[in-house]
Amino acid sequence: MSEKQVIIDVGDGAAIPRPEDKGLLSAWWLSFLGTLAVLAYLLIFHPDPYLRLLKFLPDGIIVTFQVTIASICLALLLGLLAGLGRISRNRIVNLVASTYVEIIRGIPLLVQLFYIYFALGRIVRVPDMVAAIIALGFCYGAYMGEVFRAGIMSIDHGQTEASLSLGFNRSQTMRYVILPQAWRTILPPVGNEFIALLKDTSLVSIIAVSDILRRGREFASESFLYFETYTLIAIIYLLITLVLSKILSNVEQRLSHYERR
């Protein structure tokens, strides 16, 4: 008697509110509206220090998104190369890609940040922003590699055979047939990794990158208002991740609607 295999998918990103999951969807609205209400209460009834702190953070928010976007672009490039390498018939290419994935996924992100910024600093001086982008990009690129590999492998092999029979070579088949179809499968987990990466940018404050957390720490060290500072920072991170998770949910719904048509 055969048993159906159950795959449990648990990631580091935000929980995506989908229409079929009524409990999670309701929890998203409760969290979002509750967070907005708490933020409004703090800014209206306790403008000092919360309003003053909020005016201190915008440049940190900009830096956080700059690091996130640059890192996700690098991660997508490395992930694509790693994913293609993992399914390559060339044993050397496959070995290099697989080794990259295993090594990077086996080292904590914080250690990678320290290694690039401090250890490699003895050989070549790496600017803080560059070190942050490289560490995040390489770390998430290893995870993206598995996402791309799984997405490509999910496309029926008959698509490749049909493309080859029409005169396409393997490179053209991958570029024009497989990847465009795989992208619809890959996009949701990529979006989830984007949110997880944004949250992990809080680690770059340790190497002097002026992100949200770093700016908050600067404010707290001057005012000694640690509770108020980290309360507002937590609220800002929560709002950003809630908004991004909702956007990702809408993108998934549009893709599902497109596939059904």
* 152 vs 246: CA distance, rounded Å: 26
Among 18-22, 84-88, 135-139, 242-246, which is the least confidently predicted range? 18-22
Q: Is the pLDDT of residue 22 over 80?
A: no
Q: How far is CA 71 from CA 27, 61, 76, 94, 209, in A?
A: 30, 15, 9, 24, 14
> Using 50, 70 and 90 to split pLDDT, how confident is the model at 5?
very low
Tell me which of 1 and 112 has the higher pLDDT. 112
What confidence tens digit (pLDDT) does each residue in 93-105 have? Answer: 999 999 999 999 9
For residue 108, how far is the Cα from the chain centroid? 16
31 within 8 A of 234, measured Cβ to Cβ:
no
Q: ω into residue 19 within 30 of 0, thus cis?
A: no
Of the candidates 20, 76, 96, the residue with the CA atom closest to the CA atom of residue 252: 20
Is residue 37 in some structural domain?
no
Share of the chain above pLDDT 90, in %: 60
Output the average pLDDT for the chain.
87
Is residue 39 in some structural domain?
no
Is residue 256 in some structural domain?
yes
Is residue 120 in some structural domain?
yes
Domain count for the chain, please give it.
1
* Alpha-helical regions (H) of 154-178: 157-165, 170-173
Q: Which residues contact 213 (CB under 8 A, 6 or more apart)?
A: 60, 202, 205, 233
* 139 vs 108: CA distance, rounded Å: 9
The pTM of this model reads 0.86
Is residue 188 in some structural domain?
yes
CATH number for the domain spanning 254: value is 1.10.3720.10
For residue 133, give its domain range.
Answer: 24-32+49-260
